Amino acid sequence: MKRTFIFLCIVTLTICCKKETKTNTKDVIAVLQEDSTIPQQRKKDHQLREVKKAVIAPNMDGSMDDPIWKETKWYAIDQLWIGDQPTLKDYFGRYKISWTPDALYILVEIKDDIISNSYKDPLVQWWDNDCVEIFIDADNSGGEHQFNNNAFAYHVALDGNVVDLDVNQQPILHNSHVITKRTTKGDVSIWEFEVSVFDDTYEEGKTNDPLVLTKNQKIGFAIAYNDNDQSKERENFMGSVFVPGEDKNQGWINADIFGTILLVE
């Protein structure tokens, strides 16, 4: 009788342990499922282009003499985003791009028959002056970035001021993010840019370190030119990537339309 009692106790304890183990396993799985919210890249790569590393960083002197510019190819800034298609006399644009661990480097050639800087205050209608606009999405994730730092839309003015919108929906100068030099002869301007890349952890008013760029890194990228022939508003907005649909002026809001650059050596 005593042995029978002990046997029944052991069987009962074993069944309870199995039930408890089974319940705990389900709980653990449920927790893992809830916590495994790893962000998935939503943007689909398009206009994927390899960008060659510069052994020697270009000098920001507004010229094409640096070795890396002799080794890289031109890409067009020829997609109409706003306005009417300009004539070749009015506008022609193209760019080259390279990188080092410290920054992206961009060379831009713009043929523009009328250079306009109607708004002297860099924070007033900056988009209606002639300017180059550089779009950067550090992790190539795409998505909305109008009033946040998921991506940046740097408007680089003729005088070198760099403007984007901040989290308070106000224009802000980001002159430390983009170093630039422009030289102009006749109707042709050569711009050089050194662009530090910041990710979505960037916070205005705080100390922020730019990313160290590495081989095989993907970055969302586009570049454009605002063309104003001394009017109250820009006549044309020409971009480097095709934007589907009727509304093509999306770069300052939607990083999904950016192209993708792949850093290679």
Cα distance between residue 208 and residue 215, in whole Å: 22
Instruction: Tell me the pLDDT of the chain averaged across its residues.
Output: 88
Cα distance between residue 262 and residue 83, in whole Å: 31
Cα distance between residue 106 and residue 79, in whole Å: 18
**Number of continuous H segments (helices) and E segments (strands) in the chain:** 2, 14
Q: Looking at the predicted structure, is the pLDDT value of residue 194 above 60?
A: yes
CB 101 within 8 A of CB 212: yes
Cα distance between residue 265 and residue 257, in whole Å: 26
Q: Work out the widest C-alpha separation in the chain, in whole angstroms.
A: 111
Q: Which of 197, 218, 216, 217 is nearest to 208 (CA)?
A: 197
Residue written as token pair 């080259």? 96
Half-sphere exposure of 252 (CA within 13 A, CB side): 19
pTM: 0.84
Q: Which of 67, 52, 91 is nearest to 226 (CA)?
A: 91
For the record, the structure tokens of 149 come out as 């730092």
Classify residue 51 by burial, with Cβ atoms within 10 Å: 0-12, 13-18, 19+: buried
Residues 9-62 have pLDDT tens digits of 444 444 444 344 343 433 433 333 334 344 455 799 999 999 999 999 999 999
**What region, left, alpha or beta, does residue 76 occupy, with left being phi > 0 and alpha being psi -120 to 50 degrees?**
beta
Residues 137-151 have pLDDT tens digits of 999 999 999 999 999
Residues 86-118 have pLDDT tens digits of 999 999 999 999 999 999 999 999 999 999 998
